[in-house]
Amino acid sequence: MRGIMEQTRAKRTAPETRIILGITGGIAAYKAAELARLLVKQNIGVRAALTEAATRFITPVTMQALTGRPVLLNQWDCAENGMAHISAGRAADAIVIAPATADFIAKLAHGLADDLLSTLCLARDCPLLVAPAMNKQMWENLATQRNLAQLAADGATVLGPCSGAQACGEEGMGRMLEAEELAQEVAEFLQSNKSMNAISPTPTLPRRERELVRHSDERLDGVKILVTAGPTYEAIDAVRGITNRSSGKMGYAVAQAALEMGAEVTLVSGPTALEKPHGTQAVDVISAAEMFEAVKQRVADADIFIGVAAVADYRVAQPSAQKIKKGEGKLTLGLLPNPDILAYVAGLPQPPFCVGFAAESENLRAHAAAKRAAKKVPLLAANLAQQAIGADENELILFDDGGEHLLPRADKLAQARALLRHTAKLYRQGKPR
Ligand code: CTP
């Protein structure tokens, strides 16, 4: 085995970037093996550090074989002069904890150091990235949320989690991001951190403080964000109505991503089957008129407005309070135009920073650019309606003053996170148009 590892090592060029991959004791530990493989494939040097509990889920031998490096396990091991907790961290460009259990997150938030991995984190001189993985009840527990908020405030980057089927059989928030997505996030982070270090106007600033500066740019702590989501329903009579196929998934993902970045989120939602992201101020509406009222009442307080809802452009002129009885002849419905909520908000004397969406079935670029200009919004995210509506994934093109930015096909939460990072950047620049 040793021989094979040495050959593999010799074939690869020495990686410029090195991370410590901290693995803690949760069932998602098995995904860390794939994550290590994907990072190594991108020529990122990985040194695995496992807690005692992690070794119950995945073996050090597996991680050693995949990374080609000895695994860090025990603070009492004398092989590294008994100083592994200092020396290993010094050589790293980042520490990535994946999976991070609720227990380990609590330890990090309180600065505990009772095993090698927590000691490495406390003694580090490099950025910390944390990918939580836990049961949904543990995730929703206020103690966990408090600990995560503390970690984020201390400058750590929290990656995920996402919602989905859990190992315990339940469904909900707390599932660790997939290895592919984590590998991409980590690689992007390392890349931007490298360029940040290269162009830092304050090279004398210690690494840790530069990390905090970088993250304060990406965070939206205390920023008030108003989001519309889902379809609207325009009544025809007591039991029938006009609506559309919007599921609300994108709007809810936007709300979730904004919460993760520390924003205070109000979610005005049309009828959907989705659970509201924990921590949002939720306002349920049915029709476009109700959505418009809900937005008008709250917009003065918003720093950012994101219109994701598929608002019906028309409502029935004279909806019937009773069920309309079937007749022999033709039935004609009179329709009246609905107010354009996004255009109204963007046209306010002191508008919040406005982000619009465009669902187009053809000529995506031309229609989207025209829509952005007509509604006077600084940032517009466009997608093809037939690919996006109701789907779990989509491809977005962002239009702003700087041109177009493609967000390649990915699940809606990943897209929402990328959109929010872009929004935060433009919002901070403070010159939207
Ligand atoms: N929007 C809105 N109020 C409306 C219609 C649309 O706030 N009455 C917002 C949507 O939330 C989205 C953007 O405007 O952010 C574009 O919506 P879209 O349905 O793509 O376009 P429309 O303006 O309705 O134009 P069309 O249907 O002709 O494409």
Q: Express each pLDDT in 254-300 by its tens digit.
A: 999 999 888 999 999 999 999 999 889 999 999 999 999 999 999 99
Å from CA of 307 to ligand 1 middle: 8
Domain interval for residue 155: 2-214
CATH number at residue 309: 3.40.50.10300
Catalytic positions, written as ranges: 168
CATH number at residue 173: 3.40.50.1950
Provide the 8-state DSSP code for 60: H
Å from CA of 314 to ligand 1 middle: 11
For the CA of 357, the nearest atom of ligand 1: 15
Final residue belonging to a domain, choices 197, 214, 231 = 214
Distance CA 386, CA 388 (A): 6
Collect all residues with Cβ–Cβ distance below 8 Å to 32 and sequence separation of at least 6.
21, 23, 48, 58, 63, 98, 99, 179
Quote the number of domains for the chain: 2
**Which residue type does 249 have?**
K
Q: Give yes or no: residues 207 and 233 share one domain.
A: no
pLDDT value of residue 7: 43
Q: Give yes or no: residues 269 and 352 share one domain.
A: yes
Q: Give yes or no: residues 256 and 169 share one domain.
A: no
Final residue belonging to a domain, choices 214, 231, 250 = 214
The span from the first CA to the last CA of the chain, in angstroms, equals 60
Q: Give yes or no: residues 202 and 236 share one domain.
A: no
Q: Is the pLDDT reported for residue 208 higher than 80?
A: no
Å from CA of 240 to ligand 1 middle: 23
Å from CA of 310 to ligand 1 middle: 6
Q: For ligand 1, is residue 338 a contact (CB within 6 Å)?
A: yes
Q: Give yes or no: residues 299 and 343 share one domain.
A: yes
Q: For ligand 1, is residue 407 a contact (CB within 6 Å)?
A: no
pLDDT value of residue 231: 97
pLDDT value of residue 160: 81
Nearest to 303 by CA among 153, 149, 428: 428
For the CA of 359, the nearest atom of ligand 1: 20
Residue 199's pLDDT band (cuts 50, 70, 90) = very low
Beta carbons within 10 angstroms of residue 308's beta carbon: 28
User: Model-level pTM greater than 0.85?
Assistant: no
Q: How far is CA 29 from CA 39, 63, 102, in A?
A: 16, 11, 14
Q: Give yes or no: residues 189 and 317 share one domain.
A: no
Selected residue with higher pLDDT from 136 and 215: 136
Q: Ligand 1: which of 290, 314, 357, 364 to mutate, judged by most atoms within 8 Å of the beta carbon?
A: 357
Q: Ligand 1: which of 311, 386, 389 to mutate, judged by most atoms within 8 Å of the beta carbon?
A: 311
Q: For ligand 1, is residue 382 a contact (CB within 6 Å)?
A: no
**What digits encode the pLDDT tens for the residues 390-404?**
788 888 889 999 888
Q: Give yes or no: residues 72 and 198 share one domain.
A: yes
Q: Give yes or no: residues 250 and 167 share one domain.
A: no
Q: Give yes or no: residues 139 and 274 share one domain.
A: no
Final residue belonging to a domain, choices 168, 195, 214 = 214
Q: How far is CA 10 from CA 17, 64, 68, 360, in A?
A: 17, 16, 10, 51
Q: Give yes or no: residues 208 and 225 share one domain.
A: no
Å from CA of 358 to ligand 1 middle: 7
pLDDT value of residue 171: 74
Selected residue with higher pLDDT from 33 and 204: 33
Q: Give yes or no: residues 267 and 346 share one domain.
A: yes
Q: For ligand 1, is residue 394 a contact (CB within 6 Å)?
A: no
Q: Give yes or no: residues 229 and 196 share one domain.
A: no
Q: For ligand 1, is residue 357 a contact (CB within 6 Å)?
A: yes
**What digits encode the pLDDT tens for the residues 57-80?**
999 999 999 999 999 998 776 665
